[in-house]
Amino acid sequence: MSDPRRMSDSAENTADRAAAKAGDPADVAAPETQPGASAAEAQETAPDPFAVLQSLQRENADLKDKLLRSLADMENMRRRTDKEVADAKTYGIASFAREMLTFADNLRRAVENVPSDVRDRAEPPVKALIEGIEVTERDFLSRLNRYGVKKLEPLGTKFDPNMHEALYEVPDETKPNGTVVHVVEDGYGIGDRILRPAKVGVSRGGPKPAN
């Protein structure tokens, strides 16, 4: 007959061995949690809202500055383009017009080389020819004027080295010194530029010109 106490001890020993083999939950160390330390670390790593705002403001200012510079560059480019187009329209024919001035000079010389008394005594066909040359000259100058080419009128004005070329001086005490008294060759301008300066004679010996 078995001893009940021995059987109970054996069962307890078996249970103890099973518990040791499986591991007692009470013996497993629970992970340490430090809620206070985690909150502090999170606060330290979180970005400063004021610093973020300042950074965004600086970035916005930089972008605005770049945009304004780009707009200014575009406006300057547009103005340069408009000026180049306008100059091309105004001065594009300058070289051609300068070459045609010789034709205008020849027309003027053809008329001036006919003395007035000879013209008065000339036969009707000759008079018609002279008048035809004068009409051709006026028509030619009118067509040049349509393209911005204008004849200078320096006679009686103050000599201007930017517009005139002085060939000689004429003693004349009745006119201010440096006054254009004779035009040897007509000058022409186009737009704001001088296409060809007028060749002139200027007075010398008179009073100083008024400023």
Q: For 12-21, what is each residue's pLDDT tens digit?
A: 555 555 445 5
pLDDT band of residue 205 (cuts 50, 70, 90) is confident
- Tally of CA atoms within 13 A in the half-sphere of 117 that contains its CB: 0
What proportion of the chain, given as a percentage, has pLDDT over 90?
Answer: 47
* pLDDT at residue 54, as a whole number: 85
User: What's the pLDDT tens digit per position in 142-185?
Assistant: 999 998 999 999 999 999 999 999 999 999 988 999 999 999 99
Confidence category of residue 25, pLDDT binned at 50, 70, 90: very low
CB-based contact 147:179 (threshold 8 Å): no
pLDDT score recorded for residue 28: 46
Give which of 187, 190, 189 is closest to 91, Cα–Cα: 190
Task: Check residue 161 and give its pLDDT.
Answer: 94
* pLDDT of residue 78 exceeding 60: yes
Q: What is the DSSP string of 139-200?
A: HHHHHHHHTTEEE---TTSBP-TTTEEEEEEEE-TTS-TTBEEEEEE--EEETTEEEEPEEE
Task: Quote the pLDDT of residue 86.
Answer: 83
Percentage of the residues of the chain whose pLDDT score is greater than 70: 78
More confident call, 35 vs 124:
124
Please determine, for residue 197, whether its predicted confidence score (pLDDT) is greater than 90.
yes
Model pLDDT for residues 94-153, shown as the tens digit of each residue: 889 999 999 999 999 998 888 888 888 889 999 999 999 999 999 999 999 998 999 999
**CATH 2.30.22.10 is held by the domain 152-211:** yes
Q: How confident is the model at residue 35 (pLDDT cuts 50, 70, 90)?
A: low
pTM for the complete prediction?
0.61
Residues in the chain: 211
Say if residues 209 and 177 touch (Cβ distance below 8 Å).
yes
Q: Where are the domains of the chain?
A: 76-149, 152-211
